Amino acid sequence: MGVFRIEKNTKVVIAGSVWRLRKKINETTWRLEEANTERYLDKTEEELFVMHVEGQLRAVLEHPGQKGTIVPRKLSDAEKDEIQWRLMFVKAVYDLPTTQDEYETAIATVWKDYQKRRQQGGDSGSSGADSNVVLKCKKAPNWSTAYRWVLRYKASGNDTYALLKKDRFDQERAESEVIDAIDEALEEDYLTRERSHLSVAIVTAKQRVKDANEKREALGLSPFKLPSRRNVERRLKLIPAFDVHAARRGRQSAIMKFRAVSGHRTTTEVLARVEIDHTPLDLFVVDDETGLPLGRPYITMCIEDFTRCILGLYVGFIPPSYQSVALCLKHAFLPKVYLKREYPEVRNSWDPCGVMRTLVTDQGAEFHSEALEEACNRLGINIEYAPRKTGWYKAKIERVLRRLNEEVAHGTPGTTFSNIFERGDYNPEKFAVVRMSTLRLALHLWVCDVYHQKPHCALGMPPATMWKMNIRTQEPLAKSPNRQVEKGIFSSGPAF
């Protein structure tokens, strides 16, 4: 709260209307003018005092800056100390002319006296300051800072709570009934799976307050002020962001958005960790010989964690299975010696290859096959399964597959668009003109000349450069007793 005096031009609120004390018409009577209608009302000073005591009259402070400060809670010891610390300097410059020299002189005097009293144990001298104040700063405040404190102090009617930091008292100033109306509107119209716009909840909150004002008007009570957008947004910010997202989009979506990934895997050497996954390409292809549409091909890819290089790639029409996984891993293990012979258009080599220590997969049935587990055991590969619905566990392969679809499939005639709402009247079968051989060439060009050569934001260099800087000439784990590359597990030759 703050203090005010009954004097000319003072603004007061009576029954929800703003009045101004225009003039004193006799020794005890004041004439008030309503701000909106310019109606006049005569009240004696005794009547004004009674209305103020009974809560029917409230003063409106008009000093520059903020109004009276509401702190609907008990202040902590630190906040009390902060008020006393600032009040020392405010009182020292309160009535001084607003000049830098005057303020700096007064502040220096208070600061010097304060340091002196602290050295003496804080028991001597008062100088209008509390000797028990805990020192919050190592130096006196700047004169402009003290000037802002004085403005806030005067604007609040000399309320010491105004000296607190703004974020400590920026509370809701609406009545509890208005707050309830806002909360109910948010719950019914915003925190729903229909995901309505916030403006719908604002309109609902205003209508609820209007209905309440009609009842109050019938009882002769002052109406509530209608909530503004800012009031509604403030109430919404008090709700945890996780709860808001869960109410509008579902709990699983909230978990994925606000997840905290613990135990994140980091690698320090090449081939320590490799991620593998499948995706259907967003395009249709045709047969090279017959020209008949073959459908949407599947891509199986594995990416090396440390260098972000693509180790192996398989494209075909085999649905995700052990066979597609085996063909992709075979391509990853062996050197790509076929590249220059079969794809002379590719300018750069595809160097990354080798047997990994850990293979990260999802929970697909093809990764739980006995054949894959047996093959990995004989090669000394540890299979690490990502938990269900945790795409971020193997985020690198997920991101690369999405990028492959965007840069290769979506720019090629015959794309299907994974989202049906993006298709419009586009007929993918009518424009399915990509041949299988052309698609394979495009994939090799993209991997060798685009992805591997473009600087990676996490590496600060291209993946191909990262591989060459960290790979050794011999296979890192060639001498491991658990690594036995036996004939018949994976045959040699290109995978696609």
Q: How do residues 145-167 score in pLDDT, each as one tens digit?
A: 888 888 877 777 677 777 776 54
Of the chain, the percentage scoring pLDDT greater than 90 comes to 14
If asked whether residues 188 and 222 sit together in one domain, one would say yes
CB 36, CB 48: distance < 8 Å: no
If asked whether residues 223 and 153 sit together in one domain, one would say no
Tell whether the model's pLDDT for residue 16 goes beyond 50: yes
- The reply to whether 236 falls in a domain is yes
If asked whether residues 54 and 201 sit together in one domain, one would say no
- The reply to whether 490 falls in a domain is no
- The reply to whether 100 falls in a domain is yes
If asked whether residues 89 and 219 sit together in one domain, one would say no
Range in 14-23, 272-281, 337-346, 437-446 with the lowest mean pLDDT: 14-23
If asked whether residues 303 and 320 sit together in one domain, one would say yes
Name which residue leads in pLDDT, 392 or 469: 469
If asked whether residues 320 and 463 sit together in one domain, one would say yes
Nearest by Cα to 157 from 3, 362, 331:
3
pLDDT reported for residue 126: 43
pLDDT reported for residue 346: 92
- Name the domain boundary from 225, 257, 289: 257
The model's confidence at residue 390, banded by pLDDT at 50, 70 and 90, is low
- The reply to whether 419 falls in a domain is yes
CB 417, CB 424: distance < 8 Å: no
Task: Give how far Cα 105 sits from Cα of 89, 99, 110, 147, 231, Å.
Answer: 11, 10, 9, 13, 43
Strand, coil or helix: what is 344? coil
- The reply to whether 482 falls in a domain is no
d(CA 179, CA 395): 43
Residue range 47-90, pLDDT digits in tens: 888 888 787 887 775 543 344 444 445 677 777 788 888 888 88
Q: How far is CA 465 from the centre of its chain?
A: 34
> In the β-sheet with 298-304, what is the strand arrangement from edge to edge?
310-316, 298-304, 273-280, 358-361, 382-385
- The reply to whether 407 falls in a domain is yes
Tell whether the model's pLDDT for residue 443 goes beyond 80: yes
Which residues are CB-contacts of 199 (< 8 A; sequence separation ≥ 6)?
none
- Name the domain boundary from 233, 257, 281: 257
- The reply to whether 285 falls in a domain is yes
Residue type, 402: R
Task: Give how far Cα 127 sits from Cα of 75, 96, 109, Å.
Answer: 25, 17, 10
pLDDT reported for residue 186: 92
- The reply to whether 25 falls in a domain is yes
The model's confidence at residue 266, banded by pLDDT at 50, 70 and 90, is confident
Tell whether the model's pLDDT for residue 302 goes beyond 90: yes
Nearest by Cα to 393 from 275, 270, 271, 307:
275
CB 274, CB 352: distance < 8 Å: no
Tell whether the model's pLDDT for residue 202 goes beyond 90: yes
* Total number of residues shown for the chain: 496
Q: How far is CA 252 from the centre of its chain?
A: 17
Of the chain, the percentage scoring pLDDT greater than 70 comes to 76
CB 94, CB 152: distance < 8 Å: no
Name which residue leads in pLDDT, 337 or 75: 337
If asked whether residues 249 and 382 sit together in one domain, one would say no
If asked whether residues 332 and 461 sit together in one domain, one would say yes
For the segment 250-276, the average pLDDT, to the nearest whole number, is 75
The model's confidence at residue 132, banded by pLDDT at 50, 70 and 90, is very low
Q: Distance between terminal CA atoms of the chain?
A: 79
Tell whether the model's pLDDT for residue 26 goes beyond 60: yes
Phi/psi at 301 (nearest 5 deg)? Answer: -135, 145
Residue 20: which domain range? 11-60
Phi/psi at 384 (nearest 5 deg)? Answer: -115, 120
CB 397, CB 301: distance < 8 Å: yes
The domain total for the chain is 4
Name which residue leads in pLDDT, 93 or 293: 93
If asked whether residues 331 and 249 sit together in one domain, one would say no
pLDDT reported for residue 38: 67
If asked whether residues 348 and 437 sit together in one domain, one would say yes
d(CA 416, CA 283): 5
The model's confidence at residue 123, banded by pLDDT at 50, 70 and 90, is very low
- CATH number of the domain to which 292 belongs: 3.30.420.10
Average pLDDT of the chain, as a whole number: 77
Residue range 203-222, pLDDT digits in tens: 999 999 999 888 888 877 78
Residue type, 421: F
For the segment 121-131, the average pLDDT, to the nearest whole number, is 46
For the segment 394-404, the average pLDDT, to the nearest whole number, is 84
pLDDT reported for residue 116: 82
- Name the domain boundary from 213, 230, 257: 257
If asked whether residues 156 and 182 sit together in one domain, one would say no
Q: What is the pTM of this model?
A: 0.46
If asked whether residues 332 and 293 sit together in one domain, one would say yes
